[in-house]
A = this chain, B = another copy of it.
Amino acid sequence: MAVSDQDIAYMQHALHLAEKGLFTTDPNPRVGCVLVKQNKIIGEGWHEYAGQPHAEVMAIQTTHVPLDGACCYVTLEPCCHQGLTPPCTQLLIESNISRVVIAMTDPNPVVAGKGINELLEAGIEVELGVLEAEARELNKGFIKRQNTGLPYVVCKQGMSIDAKTAMASGESQWITGKQARREVQVLRARSGAVITGSGTVLVDNPSLNVRHADLPLAYQQQPFNQPLRVILDSKGKLTDEATIFHLEGEAIWVTTEDSSLSSDDVECLKITATDEGKISLLPVLQWLGERGINEVLLEAGANLAGAFVADDLIDELVIFMAPKVLGHKGRSLLNIPHIDKLTDAKTFQFKDVEVIDQDIRLRFIKG
């Protein structure tokens, strides 16, 4: 049976359901599921928290009619392994569902096509790849971590047309407008961790947490977790009394192995130093990946953000651009010491643009 317009519409609905877990599923993926029988939706569900039921289970629990002959739309291949919850494939097979439409295979190596095989062996018709690009976008962090052990790193910057992030004096509040700042709240809420540097903490004293009232209206009904705040402080410039260590949610103070920094109040992490005495960035990401964090938001100044770009560690660059010109005396977007020729330039690919009130949001992905 070919893919129909209805298949696409039901999968679209399953993706909308999956987005209800946007802020809470880490380390798990965001998954939505819709059950359809005789062209009627008879059940729907989504995964909300690790340890709680998968989307398929949630959907089946909401049905009040027998499932035999029904079609299941699910945004990720059903699992076939015993994890914190039982395998979903068995449940679908036992329910006598006759067709399963799947957006994408599960990149988790213990599933990775085996779930689909189990369904096929049980005589269930399987359709794979419906709205796959949208499903992959929704779980770009989970996919990257499964494939590489590293989280998906989003670097967010606010700037003027001429890519200045602040005046020479440091004055920077606010270059972009209120609506752009609301979108930053969404970026934070969907991230398992937010990384910043000691310089930003000293200058701006930011909270880097999610404030319910500042989320866009469309997201205000959605549960969220505070992202882990990761503060890089290679030179030990901060004290454990900094505000950012003592807000709701977890914070971790990262320094180099050479540092004598310690605290009874704040969790510390010591990481290999680079030749220049900075914190090696890749091991920080590896540590976050091991902790099950799928997406990381980098909210840092020009030095730290530039270091991530220099090390090719940015998966996505999200620029909020205000339609202003600040002139050459303003502060540069990214400090990268070792670019001297055009061929040294770091290359990205344009992804998309959105108008956000008077500002625009430009997104670029790794080139």
Interface residue ranges, A against B (CB under 8 Å): 159-164, 167-169, 171-172, 175, 302, 306, 309, 317, 319, 323-330, 332-337, 339-342, 345-350, 353, 355, 358-360, 362, 364, 367
Contacts and interface: CB of A to CB of B under 8 A. Distances in A.
The 10 lowest CB-CB distance pairs between A and B, nearest first, are: A163-B163, A327-B336, A328-B332, A327-B339, A162-B333, A324-B345, A325-B346, A323-B348, A328-B335, A162-B163
Contacts of A159: 163
Contacts of A334: 162, 325, 327-328
A340 B163 contact: no
A313 to B, nearest CB: 13
Contact of A324 (B168, B323, B324, B347): B347
B329 A348 contact: no
Contacts of A169: 340-341
A319 B161 contact: yes
Contacts of A337: 327, 329
A99 B169 CA distance: 62
Given A171-B341, A328-B333, A330-B339, 15 more contacts: A161-B319, A163-B163, A163-B333, A168-B340, A169-B341, A323-B350, A324-B346, A324-B367, A325-B346, A326-B339, A328-B334, A329-B339, A349-B358, A350-B355, A350-B359
Report how many copies the assembly holds. Answer: 2
Contacts of A342: 167, 171-172, 175, 326
A325 to B, nearest CB: 4
B345 A326 contact: yes
A328 B306 contact: yes
